[in-house]
């Protein structure tokens, strides 16, 4: 804006809110920074309102959007950057333009290939190290700060990791329970008794739990007393045959009583063993709030290396680029090649410095609309005109233009 143009816009009457008398308020009232209102008349210009609303990364870019016909005021396309907004006006910008303005710069195809080639090389080295020394890599991963952990950068990822670990424990528990049959227990008892021979005691069956050792020993003693054939021939199939025998199939009353007694003891041992497996699995599970999972042998086996990119082929046809890394899908910054901005959309690194939303504009980033509520005013201790300059600069500017500006 030229100096002569600004002089026609300058208004020596500054809009403020009257402050209460200190005696009425009961405490000291901050002074009203009236001098900061010197350039308040610029805030109603459409180009500056777009910039204040964070729909553009600079006033110059806001002018380009307006001149390009991408901005509407009250539903009408306005192509004048200096268009003065009135209280209640609704202005909007095409969402694609806002994403382009406030998003990270999209890298070229060659830049993306270069970045991904380095990422794939580093990932393949990590996979190779994890498979050769899984525990060392796991411990190093757990010691890494969350801010540097690319794969587990979000709480959602951590929750999914804990959920997967707990589901794996459930699968193992079900498999163990399915394998814990009466036939398998009987076969194991006979196998232990065969190994120990005459020195067999209750403690030899400790793997079934302390409360079940005497029941296991009782099964062995009952079979020994009857000199049953299972003592010398105790395969899983033989145990199944013994347990599946019905009452009419037994030749003597003693043999039938023996089978009933052994089956009863086996059922009690099985029930105790199943409960022990369930409790052990529940105790090993992690709470949902847990940030780390314990080491498992499946950690390294699930990792897969990534094929190298063929630069010449991708430069000819970008659709032939297939990047599938744990933290990234598609080429770096070009997940959606048709978009003019970095995809997936990422805000510009400097956006935090300008993320100061004005009080006189109501903004909706979901629809890229904003309402110009009123002209900015000054209040005790605060001004709605956003400026990096101190009060004394605005005071001198006001005095200069109040004397010569009109």
* Residue-wise pLDDT tens digits, 174-216: 998 898 898 898 888 888 888 877 778 888 888 888 888 888 8
Please give the Cα distance from 131 to 112 (Å, whole number).
28
Answer whether residue 56 shows pLDDT above 90. yes
pLDDT at residue 356, rounded to an integer: 83
What separation, in Å, do the N-terminal and C-terminal C-alpha atoms of the chain show? 17
- The least confident of 84-88, 233-237, 247-251, 333-337 is 247-251
Answer whether residue 25 shows pLDDT above 60. no
- The least confident of 20-29, 79-88, 134-143 is 20-29
Band of pLDDT at residue 115, cut at 50, 70 and 90:
very high
pLDDT at residue 153, rounded to an integer: 47
Please give the Cα distance from 30 to 16 (Å, whole number).
14
Of all residues in the chain, what percent carry a pLDDT higher than 90? 39
Q: Say what the alpha-carbon torsion angle 32, 35, 41, 44 is, to the nearest 10 degrees.
A: -50
Segment 297-317 mean pLDDT: 88
pLDDT at residue 95, rounded to an integer: 94
Q: Which of 219-228, 240-249, 330-339, 347-356 tops mean pLDDT?
A: 330-339
**Between these two residues, 290 and 194, which has the higher pLDDT value?**
194
Mutual orientation of helices 59-67 and 95-102 as an angle, nearest 10°?
150
Band of pLDDT at residue 369, cut at 50, 70 and 90:
very high
User: What does pLDDT average to over the chain?
Assistant: 86
**Between these two residues, 14 and 124, which has the higher pLDDT value?**
124
Answer whether residue 289 shows pLDDT above 80. no
Report phi then psi at 181, rounded to 5.
-100, 165
Q: Which of 141-150, 212-221, 294-303, 314-323 tops mean pLDDT?
A: 314-323
Token pair of 110 as six digits: 């060659």
**Between these two residues, 348 and 118, which has the higher pLDDT value?**
118
Please give the Cα distance from 333 to 112 (Å, whole number).
7
Please give the Cα distance from 361 to 376 (Å, whole number).
9
Band of pLDDT at residue 336, cut at 50, 70 and 90:
very high
- The least confident of 19-28, 157-166, 326-335 is 19-28
Please give the Cα distance from 47 to 30 (Å, whole number).
32
Please name every residue paired with 16 in a beta bridge, in sequence order, or none if there are none. Answer: 378
The answer to whether residues 381 and 30 touch, using CB atoms and an 8 Å cutoff, is: yes
In order of their start, the domains of the chain are 3-103+347-404 (3.10.290.10), 144-308 (no CATH)
Those residues with Cβ within 8 angstroms of residue 346's Cβ, 6 or more apart along the chain or in another chain: 103, 104
Residues in the chain: 406
Nearest CA to 376 among 19, 29, 34, 90?
A: 34
- The least confident of 80-94, 310-324, 340-354 is 340-354
């Amino acid at each position: 804006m030229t100096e002569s143009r600004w002089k026609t816009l300058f208004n020596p009457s500054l809009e403020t809110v009257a402050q209460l008398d200190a005696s009425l308020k009961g405490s000291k009232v901050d002074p009203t920074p009236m001098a900061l209102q010197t350039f308040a008349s610029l805030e109603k210009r459409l180009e500056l309102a777009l910039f204040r609303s964070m729909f553009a990364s600079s006033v110059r870019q806001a002018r380009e959007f307006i001149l390009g016909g991408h901005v509407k005021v009250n539903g009408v396309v306005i192509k004048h950057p200096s268009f003065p907004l009135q209280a209640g006006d609704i202005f909007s910008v095409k969402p694609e333009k806002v994403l382009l303005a406030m998003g990270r710069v999209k890298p070229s195809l060659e830049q993306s290939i270069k970045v991904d080639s380095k990422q794939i090389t580093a990932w393949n080295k990590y996979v190779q190290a994890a498979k050769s020394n899984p525990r060392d890599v796991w411990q190093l991963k757990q010691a890494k700060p969350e801010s540097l952990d690319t794969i587990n950068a979000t709480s959602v990822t951590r929750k999914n990791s804990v959920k997967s670990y707990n589901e794996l424990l459930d699968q193992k528990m079900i498999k163990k329970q399915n394998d814990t049959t009466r036939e398998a227990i009987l076969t194991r008892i006979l196998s232990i008794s065969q190994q120990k021979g005459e020195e067999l005691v209750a403690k030899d069956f400790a793997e079934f739990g302390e409360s079940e050792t005497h029941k296991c020993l009782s099964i062995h003693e009952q079979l020994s007393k009857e000199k049953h054939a299972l003592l010398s021939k105790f395969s899983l199939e033989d145990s199944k045959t013994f347990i599946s025998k019905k009452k009419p199939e037994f030749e003597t009353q003693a043999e039938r009583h023996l089978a009933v007694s052994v089956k009863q003891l086996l059922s009690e041992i099985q029930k105790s063993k199943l409960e022990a497996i369930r409790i052990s699995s529940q105790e090993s599970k992690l709470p949902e709030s847990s940030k780390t999972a314990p080491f498992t042998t499946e950690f390294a086996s699930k990792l897969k290396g990534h094929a190298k990119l063929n630069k010449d082929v991708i430069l000819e046809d970008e659709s032939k680029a297939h990047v599938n890394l744990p933290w990234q899908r598609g080429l770096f910054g070009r997940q959606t090649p048709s978009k003019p901005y970095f995809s997936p959309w990422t805000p510009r690194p400097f956006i935090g410095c300008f993320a100061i939303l004005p009080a006189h504009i109501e903004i909706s980033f979901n629809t890229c609309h904003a309402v110009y509520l009123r002209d900015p005013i000054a209040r005790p201790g605060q001004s709605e005109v956003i400026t990096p300059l101190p009060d004394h600069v605005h005071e001198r500017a006001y005095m200069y233009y109040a004397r010569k500006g009109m």
